[in-house]
Amino acid sequence: MERRQFLSLMAAVAGTPLVARCARLATPSPPKVYRSESGSLAVALTASLGRVSLGGRSATLMTYNQQIPGPQLEVRPGDRVQIRFTNALDQPTNLHYHGLHLPPTGLADDPFRTVAPGETALYDFQIPDAHPSGFFWYHPHFHGLVAQQVFHGLAGTIIVRGDEVPGNVDHLPELQAAQEAVLVLQDFDLDRRGQVREPMPPFRMWGRQGDLITVNGQVQPRFNLPQGGLLRLRILNASASRVYQLQLADHPWWLAATDGRSLTAPVAQESVILAPGERADLLVPGDRDPGSYALLSLPYDRGIAAMAGSMMGHGSMMGRGTVDTEEPQTIATLDYGGTTASESGTSILVNLPTALGTVETLPEPSIVREFVFDHGIDPETHDPFLINGRAFGHHRVDTQVQVGTVEDWVLINKAGMDHPFHLHTNWFQVISRNGQPEPLRAWKDVVNLRPYETVRIRIPFRDFAGKTVYHCHILDHEDQGMMGIVEMV
Ligand SMILES: [Cu+2]
């Protein structure tokens, strides 16, 4: 690529979003919620391409039921879920239930399934009786088209609300009294006609990213923070590639759950980094001076600047205009006011719970495996993103594990870019990063590997046999090879 083209490309990445400046500040309309009743949830979802309203303008996006984000599904452990899923796109797709502990087989969470254009398919599964409560999501997982489909808007949330069992927190009185807000973060790269731009070749390598950041399909929505009360923010990064570094300006917040699963106690945070696929529950006590507080997206460099520099042989030209020199931007605002604890007649109490759920300590692993994430060329597929020297092969089992055992996986990033690792079906805990023990014991289903970082995770393989996948959640990387198959036997 010529230098001129490259510079304009970089400028396009870094440009202040015009829409964000012009759009009227919208009050968020939460996504439509489908709740299970009497132990069952039956819904129809249709994926289609069409004109929808996005942040006060019109855009041609892929949606579930013509909504950005798609409908929110709320279920309880033990529920039967039946989704009549129609693919009205002109390309194959499917559904993945990210973070749910479901069989990877049958009509449940099979990432190898194809739902052809025009086809209506049934997903039919039971949420396990012992499933923890939490915040999860669904999105397409048809290899080769995942980045394109997610970047066009396909994503929806799933909330599991459980009873009082260890690990669950929904029953805690403080959280019962809290106001809950779900925030789905997506980014878009739209042209003047509201069409999603096809990424230039380098962006397919880096991971496609847009400068229009939306929260629940809106630009800079406002949320109510009850004075004297507690706000429970449940934030999902549903972007294809963008990593968010979030900060609540001049206001404390406390991390209460990672990837939807409760911590043992709230942890005060400065900023929260969410790689694609990651979630965070944050508790915001309304104990500051009434006013408005900005939720900021801070600049974050996931290794693109260095990568671009080495690619172009012009390391020094990457001054202004790279993604890592973006300005902080307000993506939502929290306003004190509205219904307060005092107005509703109850006592004013800022109750931050001191303890949350339990997070079990896992036994020592029976097997330790290494996975090397790097860039190169696969000898067969010629894909450039590799795990242990190989790009994804549809018919190759890369790793076989025994159900009922615990393994440690050592994830070694030998490349200069972030590669957020995601495992389907089973959760894990991070044990160490670069040899340093992880201070927080927490459940995860995505862990970001920083450039040249080694992360050790511990995985209990539970309940379900069958084949599923692990992959980089920069979805362009996944589509271009950075995925492997694990068979649980
Ligand atoms: Cu990656």
pLDDT averages per 10-residue partition of the chain, 489 residues: 38 37 41 94 97 94 96 97 98 98 98 98 97 97 98 98 84 90 97 95 93 96 92 97 97 97 96 98 94 96 77 41 68 80 52 91 98 96 96 97 98 97 98 97 98 98 98 98 98
286 CA to centre of ligand 1 in angstroms: 38
Residue given tokens 């919208």 in the structure block:
26
477 CA to centre of ligand 1 in angstroms: 5
d(CA 36, CA 46): 19
Adjacent-strand bridge partners of 223: 334
**Enclosing H/E stretch for 150:** helix 146-151
- pTM equals 0.90
> What does DSSP assign to residue 315?
G
* pLDDT in the model for residue 322: 43
Q: Give start and end residues of each alpha helix (H) in 427-480.
A: 475-479
Q: DSSP assignment of 409-421, as one string?
A: EEEEE-SSS-EEE
* pLDDT in the model for residue 350: 64
419 CA to centre of ligand 1 in angstroms: 4
d(CA 452, CA 388): 15
322 CA to centre of ligand 1 in angstroms: 19
Burial 300-312 (b: 16+ CB within 10 A, else e): bbbbbbbbbbeeb
* pLDDT in the model for residue 319: 34
Two structure tokens written together for 82:
């039946």
224 CA to centre of ligand 1 in angstroms: 36
412 CA to centre of ligand 1 in angstroms: 12
415 CA to centre of ligand 1 in angstroms: 9
301 CA to centre of ligand 1 in angstroms: 14
239 CA to centre of ligand 1 in angstroms: 13
First-to-last CA distance in the chain? 48
152 CA to centre of ligand 1 in angstroms: 19
473 CA to centre of ligand 1 in angstroms: 6
**HSE of 388 in the Cβ direction (CA atoms, 13 Å)?**
16
* pLDDT in the model for residue 168: 87
Query: Are the C-beta atoms of 259 and 207 separated by less than 8 Å?
Result: no
**Enclosing H/E stretch for 57:** strand 57-64
